[in-house]
Structure 1
Amino acid sequence: MTGDVVDLILKDHRELERLFDTLLNEPDKRAGLVPVMTTLLTAHSRAEESEVYPAAREAGGADDVEHSQKEHLEADALAKKVAATDPDSDDFGTVLRELVDAVKHHVEEEEQTVLPGMRERIDAARREQLGEAFLAVREEHLGDQPADITKADLEQQAANVGVTGASSMPKDELADKLAQEAER
């Protein structure tokens, strides 16, 4: 058995928090840990976006999903910024802190609204199925960095925030549209 998707998400959240603590408090480990953190964050986000958020929306959590997806869009932008910043530079701590604060805020909200809603509205067997799907997509994206996003990933993000016409937009235009959504 794979596990309940909610438990799997919580496990990733704790691992991200552990990586954030190390990155913030042990500057000598930053160069090696930044790609680890950004790939876990990216893989986790893509798996939630493609498997978990649509199921949560169907179960009556549309507003929570839209809000969570917008926070993912913000985190993607910040993760790109962290990945592009020299870990030894004076700016790195500030850029990292922005990402950490945004992700911690997202995790708190998700753990207070989306995940309890899923436990309440989605039965255990379906959460197990979602766990399998979540892990499969997460594994598929391990190694990806925030900039590796595909047009299909962007279209899923658009669906999660209610942007229509995404499939007819060029990738760059869709990415710009989603960046605007993240700012709302």
Structure 2
Amino acid sequence: MADHDIARPTSGDIVELIKDDHRRFEELLRELRDTTADRDSARSAFSELLIAHSEAEEEQVYPRLKSKKVIDGEEEEHGEEEHAACNEELLHLLQAKGTDTQKYEDAVEKVATALMHHIGEEELSILNPAATEASEELRQQLGVDWCTHRNRLLEEGCGSLEQVEALVKRDYEQGLLPNDEQPEDE
């Protein structure tokens, strides 16, 4: 994945760190659509970054912002539901054989739609309040903790098809995805 090195910051303001990843997602989505790009490499990088990013948010950021009353439980749960929806669409993207099929193209558009919706809402309802209502000290500590968790997941090689399948299964079991859509192959 030399062409798609994922930055591994170790500290910073959590709001800026998350927004930096959001811009990287946009770049990777452009590559996933570009027929002249190494789409398979872009798909792997996108999957790894998406899983590491969202899992670190759910473990390190959302609960602490909620405990400090920067966001409420509804915002935390909605963010987790949107991560689950992105994971489900990511699974379809990873299941597409090759990168030159209609299934691949459709999967890119569906994951892009889900992710861009989430990014817009997260920046508005979670990051904006964090920027104005969380102390600089808290934002810096969250930055270190999020980076540490995210980087550990990246080092462990998160984002494989099997790992995303397990996450989607977990998301169904936790009620983050509607059960009427659950795949029948269990």
Listed one character per residue, the Cα deviations across residues 13-40 of structure 1 (whole Å, up to 9, x for unaligned) are 0000110011113354211211011000
Who is 2:61 aligned against?
A: 52
Equivalent residue pairs, number: 164
In the alignment, the residues of structure 2 paired with residue 64 and residue 117 of structure 1 have an alpha-carbon distance, to the nearest angstrom, of 11
User: Which of 137, 146, 151 pairs up with 1:134?
Assistant: 146
Who is 1:78 aligned against?
A: 89
Who is 1:116 aligned against?
A: 128
Listed one character per residue, the Cα deviations across residues 111-156 of structure 1 (whole Å, up to 9, x for unaligned) are 11100111222100011000000000000111201642699x89xx
In the alignment, the residues of structure 2 paired with residue 80 and residue 181 of structure 1 have an alpha-carbon distance, to the nearest angstrom, of 15
Are 2:91 and 2:164, in contact at CA under 8 Å, matched by a contact in 1?
no
Structure 2: which 5+ residue stretches go unaligned?
1-9, 180-186
In the alignment, the residues of structure 2 paired with residue 58 and residue 150 of structure 1 have an alpha-carbon distance, to the nearest angstrom, of 30
What is the TM-score normalised by the length of structure 1?
A: 0.81
Q: Alignment RMSD, CA only?
A: 2.3
- More moved, 134-143 vs 53-62: 53-62
Are 1:71 and 1:182, in contact at CA under 8 Å, matched by a contact in 2?
no
Identity %: 26
Listed one character per residue, the Cα deviations across residues 47-103 of structure 1 (whole Å, up to 9, x for unaligned) are 101001101211331211111110001111111111111222221100110000100
After superposition, the Cα gap between the structure-2 partners of 1:26 and 1:150, relative to the gap in structure 1 and judged at 3 Å, is closer
What's the CA shift for 1:44? 0.4
Higher helix share: 1
- More moved, 46-55 vs 78-87: 78-87
Who is 1:65 aligned against?
A: 76
User: Aligned AA for 2:15?
Assistant: V
After superposition, the Cα gap between the structure-2 partners of 1:91 and 1:150, relative to the gap in structure 1 and judged at 3 Å, is closer
Are 1:5 and 1:130, in contact at CA under 8 Å, matched by a contact in 2?
yes
Are 2:87 and 2:164, in contact at CA under 8 Å, matched by a contact in 1?
no
